[in-house]
Amino acid sequence: MKKHWKWILPVVAVLVGIIGFGYLKFFAWNPERQVLAMINDRKITVAQFDRELSKIPSPFQEVFREDPKEYLDQMITKEVVMQEARRLGVNPDPSVRGQDVDLSIMSNLLKKEVLDKIQVDPQEVAEVYKQHKEQIGKKSLAEVTPMLEEAIREIKGKEKTEEYVAALKNKAKIEVDEKRLKSITAAPASTNTKEEFNQAMNSGKPVLVDFGANSCMPCRQLRPILKEIEKEFADQARILVVDVYKYQDLARQNRVQLIPTLIFFDKTGKEVFRHVGAWDKESIVGKLKEAGAA
């Protein structure tokens, strides 16, 4: 019997290992089975989350990977609204196909349950007319009533839609796996430190600093351009990205009020130009050369 145990035990160990690996592969490690959130009786899995996120262009995709909770909340909201639409039997417009079907269903639900029920009182129109008469000019109340009614209806529609969706979400049973959500969160994009800023300013080279933030979409759109310029001018200039929320003192010191703000410094550390907002590569390179990076 002891002889049999010599080969039985290793075989059992191997079988246990295979079964364990199979479980991990097909269940625990399988994104299709990894549940991020439950909305009533329906799941949002890691695989679903990745598929939806992959449809979004850069840099939005990268930002949401760094803060997946925000995008997951959008998916949860959509699921809650779609569940209500299914419950009420709301259909898409007959001509709609493909990815626009869900959007059509949700739009029809909100139209039926919210927008079609909005009423605009003549007194509201008269009050808005009175408040904005200077901007309206010489036009009479009768002339601008249709325009004002539409504007009031649009504002009310937005408010009522938000209230309706919030009520649906409050009524739904929503459970989010915070631990799993954290596990799929990407590391934030790297930015430069205050020490690196000071070193660059004393490097004897022209410096371009992008004062921005990882959560700022125009800032993120600039990053690939700045990476290219950094490689092309590696020996002639220093290119930095400073997060204004991490280094508020640097932002104040350089009078940054809006982001992104690109500030060009010459070889002595003197500011020679600044630009607020996104900018094309050719213009940035041109100003960098003017700052001395020839």
10-residue mean pLDDT profile of the chain (294 residues): values are 50 46 49 94 96 92 94 97 97 92 96 96 93 88 93 96 97 97 94 96 96 94 95 95 96 96 96 96 96 88
Q: Has residue 19 been placed in a domain? A: yes
Residue-level pLDDT at 95: 94
Q: Has residue 29 been placed in a domain? A: yes
Determine whether 204 is exposed, middle or buried from the number of CB atoms within 10 Å of its CB (0-12, 13-18, 19+). Answer: exposed
Q: Has residue 167 been placed in a domain? A: no
Q: Has residue 54 been placed in a domain? A: yes
Residue-level pLDDT at 137: 85
Tell which residue, 57, 53, 59, 55, has the closest CA to residue 222. 59
Residue-level pLDDT at 29: 60
Dihedral (Cα; 281, 282, 285, 290), 10-degree rounding: -150
Count of the separate structural domains present in the chain: 2
Q: Which one of 55, 87, 119 terminates a domain?
A: 87
Q: Has residue 256 been placed in a domain? A: yes
Residues annotated as catalytic are 216, 219
Q: Which one of 64, 87, 110 terminates a domain?
A: 87
Q: Which one of 87, 113, 146 terminates a domain?
A: 87
Determine whether 264 is exposed, middle or buried from the number of CB atoms within 10 Å of its CB (0-12, 13-18, 19+). Answer: buried
Residue 207: which domain range? 194-290
Q: Has residue 18 been placed in a domain? A: yes
Q: Has residue 141 been placed in a domain? A: no
Q: Has residue 124 been placed in a domain? A: no
| Strand (E) or helix (H) holding 164 | helix 141-171
0.75 cut: is pTM over it?
A: yes
Tokens of 117: 């029920």
